Amino acid sequence: MDTLRRVSAFVFYCLGTVMIVLIVLVQRGIAAEELAPIPAVLDLPLLLTGVLFGGSSLYVSLVKDKRSIPLLIVIFLPLAALVGFFVYLNFSLPFTQV
What does the pLDDT average to over 3-25? 94
Buried b or exposed e, range 57-77, using 16+ CB within 10 angstroms: bebeeeeeeeeeeeebeebbe
| Between 4 and 97, the higher pLDDT residue | 4
Return the pLDDT at 97.
Answer: 53
Return the pLDDT at 95.
Answer: 65
The pLDDT tens digits for 18-75 are 999 998 998 898 888 888 888 888 989 999 999 999 999 999 999 988 888 999 999 9
**93: pLDDT strictly greater than 80:** no
- What are the sequence ranges of the domains in the chain? 2-96
